[in-house]
Structure 1
Amino acid sequence: MSDEVRAYHALSKHRPDAWAPGPGHLEWSTQPAPFRRYAGARCIALPRRPLEETPRYDQPFAGPVGAPGPFDAASIGQLLYDSLALSAWKEDGGNRWALRVNPSSGNLHPTEAYLLAPAGSLEGPAVLAHYAPDLHGLEVRAELPAALALPAGGLLLGLSSIHWREAWKYGERAYRYCQHDLGHALAAIAIAASALGWRVRLLGQVPDARLDALLGLDRPGFEEAERADALLWISAPDAPLPRLPGTLLDGLAALELDGTPNRLSREQRHWPELERVLQLCRAPAQVDGDDAFTPGRQTDDNPGLPLRPLLHRRRSAQAMDGRTGIHADLLLAWLRRLMPENSPVPLALAGAPQVDLLLFVHRVQGLEPGLYWLARGAAPEAELAQGLREDFLWRRVPGELPLYRLLEGDARGLAGFLSCGQDIAADGCVALAMLARFDQALEQGAWRYPRLFWECGLLGQLLYLEAEAAGLSGTGIGCYFDDAVHELLGLADSRWQSLYHFTLGRARWDERLTTAPAYPE
């Protein structure tokens, strides 16, 4: 399986002389609908608090905030509103589209969410429900009989992907972007949960194939395939991980479901290598980790800033001004946020961090322009230089962070070229490439491959929020020349692979677009 995953990864690389296999042009008549809906399912409208009712921005990163909230409609609604809901509507020339709290490649949003809520949490029996972000409501697919008792003391939240949503635009490379978006969603959910005093952990005891049945995704009626990715346990910080007995799993898989899934596209094109890697990388049952989050120190880098307005204000920049700079203290604060000990993201099953960062520093007062490496723990620091260019300096920047200067000089042109020639990578304050321990992950199993992208997506979501908190903007860059990055590093093997690019700076916004609220007041 490892060789087949490597073959997909090689096939889906962009190169200066050849793009990864894709559609070539966009067939607008087959663009997938942006929302999965279940016709005929009863819908529960969810409440949401005013954005002014909020903890400070830094608080959720230091640990769950305050006493755990009750598991009721108000708290469940707030969790989903602050992580997966719409954030605004945009309009231009008669075209109208929604933006969401969680970022997505091309704003295509392949990630869907399904809630298993215990009896009483929604003032009735336990339910399996699909979250409909366009309504900010739950579409009830089944009410559970009393004999199927869900674990007490928390919520089960399943995440899935509709890969056609991304493949319509990106072809074979779309599998990568779906996994990035899964990581974005994981981080968004973890932060929103922490603001409610809750903790998020991944449950690995249900294999992906069985999780499809648990969420009702294996039933007839889906014109576009949807596959389960992850099952989350959301609970009070000290609540133990539940055990899901086989009788419960069998009972959930046998439920009679309400609602018919909508057809998203009048036709779709199949991408065989994407479909192959999807099957190869489905996770088996695993032993659950017991600790998703070790509280970090309270940084107070953004004293007094409210959390929820930032969550809902986050936008992906389309262009940077090419002039704005930042101070080194701000960049170092951003990088501290990305260290594993300082973030409540659910990585218990991923073990040690697998991603380090290669930084292209452009306009940072107090830090020389050039190429830098942030060691997040993906490899022992003593081994970082192995297999890389001999002329790298590996000069540690003074301070607490394991940040090393590799090369000095203007890296703007280099950053732009490596990101498929996109000026946005050169016109920000700093750009970066996320480098994953590729060989090491695949030695543990093909199912580790998508989780490398999850970790990159988690980091991307944190960078989005850090930029917003500083009054700036960021954007993820999925288009880059994979092997050109590796050639820059002097890599002769695949121990490191670049899996996601990102840039941060002062955005230039398109003033022709009009903005409307996400939901009617």
Structure 2
Amino acid sequence: MAEVKDSLAQHYHERTKYDPQTIASKSQGLDWSRQPVPFKEYKIGTSFDLKPYLKEDSEGFAGEEAAAWWRRLSRLLFCSYGLTAKMPTMMGDAMYLRAAPSAGGLYPAEVYLISRGTPLLPPGLYNYQPKTHSLIHFWENEVWKGLQDACFWHPVLDSTQMAIVTTAIFYRSYWRYQDRAYRRIYLDTGHLLGNIELACAMNDYRSHLMGGFADEAVDRLLYLDSEQEGTIAVIPLADLLDLKQNLPLASTVLPSETQTNYPFLRDGELLGYFHRATQIELSKPPKKIDIAAETSLEDKYNFPFCLKVSTATAPIHWGENLEGLEDTILRRRSTRAYSGANLSLDELKALLDFTYQPLHYIDQDLDGSPDYFDLSLIETFIAVSGVDGLEDGCYYYAPVAQELRQIRFKNFRQELHYLCLGQELGRDAGAVLFHTADLKTSVAKYGDRVYRYLHMDAGHLGQRLNLAAIGLNLGVSGIGGFFDEQVNEVLGIPADEAVLYITTLGRPRSQN
């Protein structure tokens, strides 16, 4: 009997695991002469300067109504992916930090805006330029029908006038992380999606997420070199000030084929092959899936006789007109070191509440049901090393029941130091949160493309954790590099749960 091979998604995940026995042999020194440029430039095109509209008194640049429209769009883009800091480096060149975090500060994502044609934004294609906070109008013809074709006539595109498209320039992450970069790219995109969701809510837009589209068709529409850059997500923007654009929710995903007959792939070939293999062809539109009907609203694990701790709490208050949330997005930084001091249980509850209970924030004008791909596939485990009022150990977080369920009794500080590749962040954090998924079950539901969806959802959740922590004056840092299999073994996480992402939470160490 012929051996049944794993799906390509499972094969990619296995091949890109970090293992203590092989990580040293696979690591490569960085070739600084080939360091990627983190900004895309266009030699031709019309520039729309968005900087004046970051000010409240921007009416002098346009009429009052026009200025208000531009101000909303300017702030949406700035809070999503704008530059928030300039840092010196040992190499001499400055490093620019953006509103959305990125592994290694490499920022593989590019943000495009497609206009159907509005009174203020002519039809065509625009690239967002974070360095100058401007839009470059590099293609001036109407392209909306082409976008609809490429998105299999998704119903939200019938009524909306603008759409954000995020892409990835693969080499920016590959330069440092090799084939494992594909994981980082989608986690980074998830961070960006989290910002877009919240920035839209703050500016009277509603983002409608789409992960299912004909990849090559959207790439061609944007004039991308698909060997170097690929479309990752399409996000139509519904203007909530226009009653016609208050639209019902629609499907965010389309399945792809599951490939088990793939060739032998050398290191360095895996990322590109996997991306091409998970694409959807325009000539073969897949069957649409009703996520509402398919998604389970039950918590997956209910361990018998375990300690259960309620996480119900009052929501974080983000201030009048969400000013506190905007400030938090713009001052967010990844924490470099923790003091080792404990968190409080109330702080941990607040972090989980903002991340997993969006319905609690409707009164603050945030979306109570923001778009994800399929959160029923994502599980959350938390290793608690220092939380006052909570016993040390590993817990499963049950978002529906809003409770923590203890599965192991132990302080894991030293093990976390090891699992996180010797990073002190894992050792000194008060709590370390793990997002996981059953890859086999996920692939059976959506095909190999689900690997994209899982990592974007994990990154999206991670960004909400980021912002909640910064809003509470806590430290937070995501970790995409870890010893994959040892995580399950040490923490007692079920073996079929593949670890997608780690977020460390603690009290920041003073840098004075």
TM over 0.5: same fold?
yes
Displacement of 1:37: 1.3
Displacement of 1:5: 2.0
Displacement of 1:180: 0.3
**Which residue matches 2:238?**
235
**Which residue matches 2:476?**
474
Displacement of 1:348: 4.6
> Residues 272-311 of structure 1: matches in 2 within 5 Å?
272-283=269-280, 285=285, 287=288, 299-302=314-317, 304=319, 306-311=324-329
Structure 2 counterpart of 1:101, from 99, 122, 134: 99
- Residues 162, 227 of structure 1: 8 Å contact kept: yes
> Residues 248-259 of structure 1: matches in 2 within 5 Å?
none
**Which residue matches 1:384?**
none
**Which residue matches 1:114?**
112
**Which residue matches 1:517?**
none
Percent identity reads: 28
Code of the aligned partner of 1:86: L
- Residues 84, 101 of structure 1: 8 Å contact kept: yes
Displacement of 1:473: 1.8
Code of the aligned partner of 1:363: G
Displacement of 1:87: 0.5
State which drifts further: 26-35 or 410-419: 410-419
Measure, in 2, the Cα distance between the counterparts of 1:26 and 1:235.
43
1:19-64 alpha-carbon deviations (Å, 9 max, x no partner): 29855101111000110111222221114655899xxxxxxxxxxx
Displacement of 1:128: 0.7
Query: Structure 1 residue 11 and structure 2 residue 15: aligned?
Result: yes
State which drifts further: 484-493 or 467-476: 484-493
Measure, in 1, the Cα distance between the counterparts of 2:483 and 2:413.
15
**Which residue matches 2:76?**
79
**Which residue matches 2:262?**
none
What secondary structure sits across from 1:141 in the alignment?
strand
**Which residue matches 1:505?**
506
- Residues 124, 143 of structure 2: 8 Å contact kept: no
1:275-333 alpha-carbon deviations (Å, 9 max, x no partner): 11111222465638698xx9xx99542363712111110001122122x2221011011
CA 1:242–1:143: 2 relative to 1, 3 Å: farther
**Which residue matches 2:389?**
366
Displacement of 1:272: 0.4
Query: Structure 1 residue 36 and structure 2 residue 51: aligned?
Result: no
**Which residue matches 2:331?**
313
> Residues 93-172 of structure 1: matches in 2 within 5 Å?
94-121=92-119, 123-145=120-142, 151-172=158-179
Measure, in 2, the Cα distance between the counterparts of 1:290 and 1:501.
26
What secondary structure sits across from 1:182 in the alignment?
helix
What secondary structure sits across from 1:217 in the alignment?
coil
Displacement of 1:355: 1.3
- Residues 315, 353 of structure 2: 8 Å contact kept: no
Code of the aligned partner of 1:454: M
Measure, in 1, the Cα distance between the counterparts of 2:170 and 2:23.
19
Measure, in 1, the Cα distance between the counterparts of 2:380 and 2:79.
28
Displacement of 1:101: 0.1
Query: Structure 1 residue 27 and structure 2 residue 31: aligned?
Result: yes
State which drifts further: 459-468 or 348-357: 348-357
Measure, in 1, the Cα distance between the counterparts of 2:142 and 2:174.
38
> Residues 113-512 of structure 1: matches in 2 within 5 Å?
113-121=111-119, 123-145=120-142, 151-203=158-210, 206-218=213-225, 225-236=228-239, 239-240=246-247, 271-283=268-280, 285=285, 287=288, 299-302=314-317, 304=319, 306-322=324-340, 324-339=341-356, 341-342=358-359, 344=367, 348=371, 350-376=373-399, 401-444=402-445, 445-488=447-490, 495-508=496-509
- Residues 355, 468 of structure 2: 8 Å contact kept: no
**Which residue matches 1:386?**
none
Q: TM-score, normalised by structure 2?
A: 0.78
- Residues 2, 442 of structure 1: 8 Å contact kept: no
Question: Which one scores higher on RCO, CA 8 angstroms, separation ≥ 6?
Answer: 1
Report the structure, 1 or 2, having the larger helix content.
2
- Residues 187, 345 of structure 1: 8 Å contact kept: no
Measure, in 2, the Cα distance between the counterparts of 1:505 and 1:365.
12
Code of the aligned partner of 2:336: Q
What secondary structure sits across from 1:82 in the alignment?
helix
Code of the aligned partner of 1:302: H
Measure, in 1, the Cα distance between the counterparts of 2:451 and 2:29.
28
- Residues 419, 482 of structure 2: 8 Å contact kept: yes
What secondary structure sits across from 2:37 in the alignment?
coil
CA 1:490–1:321: 2 relative to 1, 3 Å: closer
Displacement of 1:85: 0.6
CA 1:124–1:481: 2 relative to 1, 3 Å: closer
- Residues 10, 439 of structure 2: 8 Å contact kept: no
Code of the aligned partner of 2:394: L
- Residues 20, 172 of structure 1: 8 Å contact kept: no
Measure, in 1, the Cα distance between the counterparts of 2:356 and 2:371.
15
Q: TM-score, normalised by structure 1?
A: 0.76
Note the residue ranges of structure 2 that are not aligned, 5 or more in a row: 58-65, 147-156, 251-265, 298-311, 362-366
What secondary structure sits across from 1:350 in the alignment?
coil
Q: How many residues align?
A: 439
What secondary structure sits across from 1:404 in the alignment?
strand
- Residues 420, 479 of structure 1: 8 Å contact kept: yes
CA 1:170–1:301: 2 relative to 1, 3 Å: same
State which drifts further: 188-197 or 84-93: 84-93
What secondary structure sits across from 1:320 in the alignment?
coil
CA 1:146–1:22: 2 relative to 1, 3 Å: closer
CA 1:487–1:345: 2 relative to 1, 3 Å: farther
**Which residue matches 2:150?**
none
Q: Give the CA RMSD over aligned residues.
A: 3.3
